Amino acid sequence: MSARPGRTALALLFGALLPGGGAAGPPGDGARPCAAGERALGSVGEALDKGQWAEAERLLEPLSRSHVDCGGVVLGLARLRAAQGDTAAAERLFARAAHLAPADALAHAFFARYWLSRGQPARADHLSALALSLSPDCAEALVVRGLILRGKGQIRAARQAFEQALRLDPVNAEAAYQLGIWFYNGRLYPEAVGQFEKVVARRPADARAHDYLAASLEALGEADRAELAYRSALRVNEGPFFDPLLECNYGRFLLKQGRLEESRSHLDRAVGLLPERRGPHYERGKLNLARKDYPAARRDAERALGLADPSGLVLDVQVYYLLATVYARVGEPELAQKYAELSRRTALPDQAR
């Protein structure tokens, strides 16, 4: 089973910062605190959307002095600090942006995405609802609503929210990314490819989107295009959209291609990155079995068995089958029989009901 690419929580905070965001100002303030800054704010949004932190910082530094009461500037700073991992500053700045522009749906929507990235779905739900009450056409709020619905298991409603966000904002990379994941999880791979191609065009540094694109192409049997996408992901996997599962996914792909030594280097790195995840150990166990390094295959398979996998990417039955094969190779017939029997008796998730 293919491992799905990982997602970093802070990546939820990427998206377009609309020019003029926060122009409403605080209650009773008739001035336009964002006047003359709209064009620069548009450039800030572009930089934040692409994960170009240094460029965003460069643009925001003078704006933070000249437009101290501009909600859009404060919102840009909040998103930047969150992406840089300064959560204390980010939370304070998000709250100030919402205070400066209480009628600005975008400020509440990005604050909602912040809380979702911090594992606070109730706060995110409240703020996204507030954003949509202010502006039903706020694409960023719809993306948050889709994520919340998906977390509640309301899968179809989540898709509708992502699609509505894209209708309102066709270049919204996060909406396309989340819709692509919806298609991928539903095995609608041609549709997934279309969405992930949009994302990598908009966010070329998004290793996760390249990885999902590769996995979707692989599922369609387009191995050459899949490899190009995997390599594109590797080139940008030190950046803001880091994908911890990429090494495992590419190593598994190379193993399927019979390129054992190339696969080995990537799966070794995958185990180093994710020592407590079942997938890398399982895939390296299969590799070592193919290399006829049976002691190493046994160590990996036994380690995989000892690790839970709540994501369901590598099922117990897969590990049982691997162990049965490995034990047969190392001359442990009783253990081989035990795990062969377990692999026969264990129902797949959709058969267990």
Task: Tell me how far apart the alpha carbons of residues 69 and 71 are, in angstroms, rounded to a whole number.
Answer: 6
* Per-residue pLDDT tens over the stretch 68-127: 999 999 999 999 999 999 999 999 999 999 999 999 999 999 999 999 999 999 999 999
Asked whether residue 287 is assigned to any structural domain, the reply reads: yes
Contact 131, 138 (CB under 8 A): yes
Total domains, the chain: 1
Q: 23: pLDDT confidence band, cut at 50, 70 and 90?
A: very low
What is the average pLDDT across 125-137? Answer: 97
Contact 286, 271 (CB under 8 A): no
Q: Which pLDDT score is estimated for 5? A: 53
pLDDT exceeds 80 at position 351: no
Task: Give the residue carrying structure tokens 């620069």.
Answer: 40
Q: In the chain, what percentage of residues exceed pLDDT 90? A: 78
Q: 33: pLDDT confidence band, cut at 50, 70 and 90?
A: confident
pLDDT exceeds 80 at position 341: yes
Asked whether residue 294 is assigned to any structural domain, the reply reads: yes
What is the average pLDDT across 316-323? Answer: 96
Asked whether residue 75 is assigned to any structural domain, the reply reads: no
What is the average pLDDT across 296-325? Answer: 95
pLDDT exceeds 50 at position 28: no
Contact 228, 222 (CB under 8 A): no
Asked whether residue 325 is assigned to any structural domain, the reply reads: yes
pLDDT mean across residues, the chain: 90
Asked whether residue 331 is assigned to any structural domain, the reply reads: yes
Q: Which pLDDT score is estimated for 8? A: 42
Answer whether 0.85 is exceeded by the pTM: yes
The angle at the Cα of 274, spanning 270 to 277, to the nearest 5 degrees, equals 110
Query: Residue 155: which residues within 8 A CB-CB, separation 6 or more?
Result: 149, 182
Asked whether residue 283 is assigned to any structural domain, the reply reads: yes
Asked whether residue 343 is assigned to any structural domain, the reply reads: yes
Q: In the chain, what percentage of residues exceed pLDDT 70? A: 89
Burial (CB < 10 A; 0-12, 13-18, 19+), residue 310, is: exposed
pLDDT exceeds 80 at position 4: no
Among 31-45, 133-147, 237-251, where is mean pLDDT lowest? 31-45
Residue 313: domain span: 277-351
Q: Which residue has the higher pLDDT, 125 or 35?
A: 125
The angle at the Cα of 118, spanning 240 to 51, to the nearest 5 degrees, equals 15
* Per-residue pLDDT tens over the stretch 145-174: 999 999 999 999 999 999 999 999 999 999
* Cβ neighbours around 165 below 10 Å, total: 27
Q: 131: pLDDT confidence band, cut at 50, 70 and 90?
A: very high
Copy the structure tokens of residue 261: 């030594």
Query: Residue 151: which residues within 8 A CB-CB, separation 6 or more?
Result: 121
pLDDT exceeds 60 at position 140: yes
Q: Which pLDDT score is estimated for 277? A: 97
Query: Residue 222: which residues within 8 A CB-CB, separation 6 or more?
Result: none
Task: Tell me how far apart the alpha carbons of residues 159 and 157 are, in angstroms, rounded to a whole number.
Answer: 5
3 state SS for the chain: CCCCCCCCHHHHHCCCCCCCCCCCCCCCCCCCCCCCCHHHHHHHHHHHHCCCHHHHHHHHHHHHHHCCCCHHHHHHHHHHHHHCCCHHHHHHHHHHHHHHCCCCHHHHHHHHHHHHHCCCHHHHHHHHHHHHHHCCCCHHHHHHHHHHHHHCCCHHHHHHHHHHHHHHCCCCHHHHHHHHHHHHHCCCHHHHHHHHHHHHHHCCCCHHHHHHHHHHHHHCCCHHHHHHHHHHHHHCCCCCCCCCCHHHHHHHHHHHCCCHHHHHHHHHHHHHHCCCCHHHHHHHHHHHHHCCCHHHHHHHHHHHHCCCCCCCCCCHHHHHHHHHHHHHHCCCHHHHHHHHHHHHHCCCHHHCC
* Per-residue pLDDT tens over the stretch 180-210: 999 999 999 999 999 999 999 999 999 999 9
Q: 25: pLDDT confidence band, cut at 50, 70 and 90?
A: very low
Burial (CB < 10 A; 0-12, 13-18, 19+), residue 243, is: buried
Copy the structure tokens of residue 59: 């643009």
Torsion of CA 95, 98, 100, 106, to 10 degrees: 140
Task: Tell me how far apart the alpha carbons of residues 294 and 296 are, in angstroms, rounded to a whole number.
Answer: 5
Asked whether residue 135 is assigned to any structural domain, the reply reads: no
- Domain at 297, CATH number: 1.25.40.10
